[in-house]
Each structure stands twice: as structure tokens, then as C-alpha cells.
């Protein structure tokens, strides 16, 4: 896709996110909206996947470690054609496959059941090591929250990724600087994130995570890097695209009411 088409896909993903959370009357819009551009580039420009063959052995893998931002993942999968967009309206409903956290056994295109924060990089390491052992050339992408990396397991996994020289692994940190209780600095500062990952042996790239061109360039650079994993620190805006949600911690896990829904959709349209 060209840049303008990818921007339009990101907009559609954002509209889907609002639809999901509004219809469910619950969910996590803030961090879902912040990664919409990343998801658009991944699913429409970067990933080697086949919506008609979701379990294709040679597909690239995506681990949404910050699983509460499932609305963004479901939106991207629906836009790509893994399932009907109409299904998005069942988000978080009883007996729906689209639960608040993604389940690989219930949703086509989901590569890891996630939601318990801090575990995604460990699983992504396993996938990347498996590819190396089987002489497969698929790549593994894992999306972490900047609040999530306060979890100690993330750094154990970072050591593992470095030890095994997992150059087929790309970590994306959604650095929107807000978590459920406030700013990253207020809760448990993980800054400087880039220096930390560098010290763990990663190739580190700092980008504007809401800029399509920079995201594409970063993924290309990651593919060219050999003998070490890559970490992309994606500086984003929480709630990106909806003015009253942007940079507001209270929209971490709150659904819009009818008036807010109408305003959000008007802005996104």
C-alpha cells in the first residue's frame, strides 16, 4: 500500500476501535488508538500472512503483549479480512470470541493469548528461536506497553533475546507515556527506555509511532540488522485521533458515552 492508503487504514482501525469499545460499554481505547498506525503498517505493508490460511507455518507472527489493547488487534484483523467487521460489534459480549484479551484458540489471526502483562516477549523469543532451529525465515513482532515494561520478566526476556542473537525478532514499545494510574514517571519510571534496551544488546530505533513513513523505515532497518534483536521505541499519543481522549490517562480503560461516541466518530470521519 502507498502512504495515503496506509493512513486511511489507520483511520479505519481507529473508527473500528471506537465502535468496539462503545458497543461493549467497556474496554481500553487509549492505548489501542495510540498503536493504530503501527497496526496499519504491520498488517497492510509489513507482515507475510494469509487471511485464508491463518495457521500457515511460514507466516510472520505478532504478539500483542499489552493484550488489553485487543480492540486495535481485532480491528486490524477484521480490516485485513480474517473475519467480518460486523463481528467487531460483539466485542466483550458474553460468548463472543472477541474477548477483552485475545485468545488464539478463538480468533483467527491471533498468535498469542495475552493479557497478563510482561509475558509477551518471552513467548516471542520462543517463536523466534523456533524459527532459527527450523531454518524458517519468518519474523516475530511483539508490542509492549511502556507501562508494561515495569514488569521484571520483560528484562529477563530481553537478556534471552540478546543471548540467542534473535535478529528475526522486533520489539515495539508503545511509548505513549501514560498508564492506568498516570504518567510513567509518576508510577514507576522506565526511562531512559532506549538506553536500557541498548544495554541489553538491542539495536534500538527511536521513532514517531504515529508517523507512517517512520514506522515503515524502522521495520526496514530492523530487517537489515543482523545478529541482534531490534527494539523500536515508538513515541505515540495515547488516544491519538480523538481530541478529548488524547494524552488523558482516564481514557486508558473507559468507554465513551453516546455523545462522546458521536463526537469521536465525527472527528475520525
Residue among 101, 189, 140, 8 at smallest CA distance from 16: 8
Assign 93 a pLDDT band (cuts: 50, 70, 90): very high
Q: In what order do the strands lie in the sheet with 61-64?
A: 61-64, 140-145, 169-175, 230-235, 203-208
The residues that bridge with 234 in the sheet, in sequence order, are 174, 207
Kindly tell me the burial class for residue 221, based on how many C-beta atoms sit within 10 Å of its own C-beta (0-12, 13-18, 19 or more).
middle
What average pLDDT score do residues 107-124 get? 97
Q: Which pLDDT value is given to residue 134?
A: 98
Q: Which pLDDT value is given to residue 204?
A: 98
Percent of the chain at pLDDT exceeding 90: 99
212 near 7, Cβ under 8 Å? yes
Q: Which pLDDT value is given to residue 103?
A: 97
Assign 162 a pLDDT band (cuts: 50, 70, 90): very high
- Beta strands 182-183; 178-179: pairing state: antiparallel
Q: Which pLDDT value is given to residue 189?
A: 95
What average pLDDT score do residues 220-240 get? 98
What does the chain come to in residues? 269
13 near 80, Cβ under 8 Å? no
Q: What does each C-alpha distance from 125 to 23, 55, 119, 121, 249 come to in angstroms?
A: 35, 19, 10, 6, 31
Assign 252 a pLDDT band (cuts: 50, 70, 90): very high
pTM: 0.97
Q: Which pLDDT value is given to residue 235?
A: 98
What average pLDDT score do residues 244-263 get? 97
What average pLDDT score do residues 156-174 get? 98
- Beta strands 203-208; 182-183: pairing state: unpaired
Q: Which pLDDT value is given to residue 197?
A: 98
Percent of the chain at pLDDT exceeding 70: 100
182: left (phi > 0), else alpha (psi -120 to 50), else beta?
Answer: left
Q: How far apart are CA 210 and CA 259, in angstroms?
A: 26
Task: Give me the chain's average pLDDT, please.
Answer: 97
Each residue's pLDDT tens digit, 76-85: 999 999 999 9
Assign 65 a pLDDT band (cuts: 50, 70, 90): very high
Q: How far apart are CA 250 and CA 122, in angstroms?
A: 29
What average pLDDT score do residues 234-254 get? 97
What average pLDDT score do residues 42-57 get? 97
CATH numbers and ranges of domains, the chain: 3-268 (3.40.50.970)
What average pLDDT score do residues 215-220 get? 98
Q: Which pLDDT value is given to residue 61?
A: 98
Amino acid at each position: 500500500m502507498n502512504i495515503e492508503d496506509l493512513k486511511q487504514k489507520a483511520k479505519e482501525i481507529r473508527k473500528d476501535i471506537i465502535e468496539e469499545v462503545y458497543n461493549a460499554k467497556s474496554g481500553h481505547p487509549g492505548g489501542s488508538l495510540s498503536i493504530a498506525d503501527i497496526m496499519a503498517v504491520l498488517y497492510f505493508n509489513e507482515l507475510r500472512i494469509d487471511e485464508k490460511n491463518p495457521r500457515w507455518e511460514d507466516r510472520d507472527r505478532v504478539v500483542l503483549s499489552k493484550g488489553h489493547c485487543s480492540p486495535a488487534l481485532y480491528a486490524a484483523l477484521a480490516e485485513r479480512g480474517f473475519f467480518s467487521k460486523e463481528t467487531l460489534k460483539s466485542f466483550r459480549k458474553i460468548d463472543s470470541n472477541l474477548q477483552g484479551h485475545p485468545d488464539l484458540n478463538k480468533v483467527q489471526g491471533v498468535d498469542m493469548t495475552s493479557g497478563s502483562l510482561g509475558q509477551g516477549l518471552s513467548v516471542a523469543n520462543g517463536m523466534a528461536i523456533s524459527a532459527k532451529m527450523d531454518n524458517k525465515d519468518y519474523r516475530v513482532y511483539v508490542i509492549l506497553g511502556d507501562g508494561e515494561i515495569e514488569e521484571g520478566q520483560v528484562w529477563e526476556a530481553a537478556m534471552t533475546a540478546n543471548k540467542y542473537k534473535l535478529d528475526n525478532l522486533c520489539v515495539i514499545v508503545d511509548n505513549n507515556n501514560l498508564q492506568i494510574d498516570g504518567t510513567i514517571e509518576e508510577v514507576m519510571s522506565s526511562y531512559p527506555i532506549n538506553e536500557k534496551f541498548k544495554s541489553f544488546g538491542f539495536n534500538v530505533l527511536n521513532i514517531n509511532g504515529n508517523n507512517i513513513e517512520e514506522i515503515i523505515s524502522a521495520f526496514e532497518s530492523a530487517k537489515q540488522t543482523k545478529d541482534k534483536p531490534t527494539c523500536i521505541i515508538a513515541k505515540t499519543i495515547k488516544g491519538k485521533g480523538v481530541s478529548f481522549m488524547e494524552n488523558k490517562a482516564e481514557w486508558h480503560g473507559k468507554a465513551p458515552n453516546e455523545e462522546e461516541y458521536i463526537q469521536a466518530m465525527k472527528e475520525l470521519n
